[in-house]
Structure 1
Amino acid sequence: MTEPARELPQIAVACPMCDAAPGDLCTSHSGTRVRTSDTHQARTTAWSTSRKGGAR
């Protein structure tokens, strides 16, 4: 099974939506399936914020 989400830069931060640890894939909202092709939008936002130096 391919997991393109592992190649995304936002995988380096924890996901505030599903609590996936940095490096782990996000899970579905019910927590039963791994999201292999993308991450939650909240994780992308967290990654973007961390690159800008965090909230100020």
Structure 2
Amino acid sequence: MPAPNMIPAPALNLPAIAVPCPACKSRAGELCTSHGGTRDRRSDVHQARTARARAEGLLA
């Protein structure tokens, strides 16, 4: 199995990653974490983060 930092994380390419996540408190540029905080969400971000990015004009 690849090292954790070598596992692909498509979420890092999403525009919403540029803002902090109000749901899990991840900083801008960091992956969101699961609700329990034990795993990175590598495929997507929380809806609250997407909403914040939209409110800041980063998304249409």
**TM-score higher than 0.5:** yes
Paired residue for 2:25, among 4, 16, 19? 19
Number of residue equivalences? 52
Using the size of structure 2 for normalisation, the TM-score is 0.84
Q: Which residue of 1 aligns with 2:15?
A: 9
CA distance in 1, matches of 2:9, 2:36: 19
Q: Which residue of 2 aligns with 1:44?
A: 50
Aligned sequence identity (%): 52
CA distance in 1, matches of 2:9, 2:39: 13
Instruction: Give the RMSD, CA atoms, in angstroms.
Output: 1.0
**Greater than 6 Å deviation, 4+ residue runs:** none
Using the size of structure 1 for normalisation, the TM-score is 0.90
CA distance in 2, matches of 1:5, 1:38: 5
